[in-house]
Structure 1
């Protein structure tokens, strides 16, 4: 393995490398706004659909299935408990912080705290941008954790495809972050890219934390793998799919999702 030959076999070091890798690809995606200044809604929905497909396949092939078959001796309960916990934590986070697409449309999601409140208007735009960055940051957290947990398991055959998959899907996600930041009120491209950086940076410490936690307490591994998968599945179902199917581009988004699943499955087989 290239990572092992370059950085050794310490799971925490490899978790750090994995976090840096996915955060860098997030930045690359966010920086695309400099060369692709006005991507169409159709293109964004297709690319986000691709990101959803990659995350969907990775949740099962690199997290849920190994968590059950390899790290809990075939007992599905620890991993499935983790899946439920991951979904619950993301659900509670989304209740407190409105979805990014609700921020952009000018209203809070119906089940958010104080749903009757309107979003900040022009003279309170900074508050709206802060909420936007916080919402995106929350949605990046499971990705960093998943990569860290993958490397913390010590199984590079699982960790590397997972890292590559999340890194690949971070490119369209990073672009979407920059475009959404502009629409949320950031009128300069460099501020939009800063938002992309901010969204990606949270993945690095979480990758290290995930690798350390499962390395220190090996019994946590199936729970942690399930948690990361459940959180990603929640983001796919509750955030990405509704967003990509809201503007009449369902077929493009679905084609992107299928392409993402195919890419992830290929990576898993080729590198696993």
Structure 2
């Protein structure tokens, strides 16, 4: 797989990687339970969300923050400064977007919808917007990782970028389920539930292309961009994924699955990256 990616341009690399995470894993997650079951197993969903949270936390450090610190080590500024600034800005960006875009989290009720005038939209639309919002940093992270390889930074490798895409693809599986199953539970047809679920990931290829172009055109931004994507992903994990996995009483299960997800992503990144 790595050999195949090495023959492509950075933009095409990021695009294909996020087509896998979106069209492959998000769609597969939305289809698997929607077309095979009538009801959602809450323990399974909470475990999957916990696993996804662990993958995202591990990816944020091993694939984004750590390389950002290594890249900044050769600059005049302290190595920790670009990573710190980018990390905080990533979280602030998601926080600001969270306040503007109307959305409701899959595990929440309509009266807890966020954003500007969410009451004027249907719940199905708000659910899709919530997952779409959370897919932005994932696509950006993949794009920035491939952009780092194209920029020729020693701490960036094509294998690590591909591994990041695989990890994000794994955690996209429960995300597709998280939006499709609630829609199905509310009476929407199987096909519509599936289509809404996979549509939520369409933003990932767009964000990936933006990430690749940004860091290849302005290389000094790379440590900031990597840590920015990490901060945005950690905001999503702490604001939605972890709370959503534990609010139904399955805290121990969700916590253990989070640790398993972290371990799986760490192994992938260290062994393959």
- TM-score w.r.t. the length of structure 2 is 0.89
**Contact 2:104/2:110 (CA < 8 Å) preserved in 1?**
no
Q: CA deviation at 1:7?
A: 5.6
In structure 1, which of residues 97, 100, 106 is the aligned counterpart of residue 105 of structure 2?
A: 100
Q: CA deviation at 1:210?
A: 0.8
Superimposed CA distance per residue, residues 197-246 of structure 1 (whole angstroms, 9 cap, x where no aligned partner): 21111111111111111111111111111111001100000001111111
Cα separation, 1, equivalents of 2:176 and 2:234: 19
Q: Which residue does 1:203 correspond to in 2?
A: 204
**Contact 1:98/1:131 (CA < 8 Å) preserved in 2?**
yes
Q: Which residue does 1:25 correspond to in 2?
A: 25
Unaligned runs of 5+ in 2: 150-156
Q: Which residue does 2:221 correspond to in 1?
A: 220
Superimposed CA distance per residue, residues 91-146 of structure 1 (whole angstroms, 9 cap, x where no aligned partner): 112223344146x423125x7556xx8x46xxxxx622222221211111111111
Aligned residue pairs: how many?
Answer: 260
Runs of 4+ more than 6 Å apart:
none
Q: CA deviation at 1:72?
A: 4.8
Cα separation, 2, equivalents of 1:106 and 1:98: 9
In structure 1, which of residues 133, 138, 146 is the aligned counterpart of residue 141 of structure 2?
A: 146
Cα separation, 1, equivalents of 2:146 and 2:37: 34
**Contact 1:63/1:229 (CA < 8 Å) preserved in 2?**
yes
**Contact 1:99/1:239 (CA < 8 Å) preserved in 2?**
no
Q: What aligned pairs does 1:230-245 form with structure 2 within 5 A after superposition?
A: 230-245=231-246
> Structure 1 residues 99 and 71 mapped into 2: Cα distance closer, same or farther (>3 Å)?
farther
SS in 2 for 1:140: helix
> Structure 1 residues 83 and 245 mapped into 2: Cα distance closer, same or farther (>3 Å)?
same
- TM-score w.r.t. the length of structure 1 is 0.89
Q: What aligned pairs does 1:43-58 form with structure 2 within 5 A after superposition?
A: 43-58=44-59
* Stretch moving more, 71-80 or 139-148: 71-80
Unaligned runs of 5+ in 1: 121-125
Cα separation, 2, equivalents of 1:186 and 1:211: 40
> Structure 1 residues 186 and 132 mapped into 2: Cα distance closer, same or farther (>3 Å)?
farther
Q: What aligned pairs does 1:110-189 form with structure 2 within 5 A after superposition?
A: 112-113=115-116, 119=119, 127-154=122-149, 155-183=157-185, 185=186, 187-189=188-190
Superimposed CA distance per residue, residues 140-194 of structure 1 (whole angstroms, 9 cap, x where no aligned partner): 11111111111111121321111110001111111112112234x4511111111
**Contact 2:72/2:82 (CA < 8 Å) preserved in 1?**
no
> Structure 1 residues 101 and 20 mapped into 2: Cα distance closer, same or farther (>3 Å)?
closer
Cα separation, 2, equivalents of 1:88 and 1:99: 19
Cα separation, 2, equivalents of 1:71 and 1:186: 51
**Contact 1:19/1:208 (CA < 8 Å) preserved in 2?**
no
Q: Which residue does 2:88 correspond to in 1?
A: 84
Cα separation, 1, equivalents of 2:126 and 2:167: 28
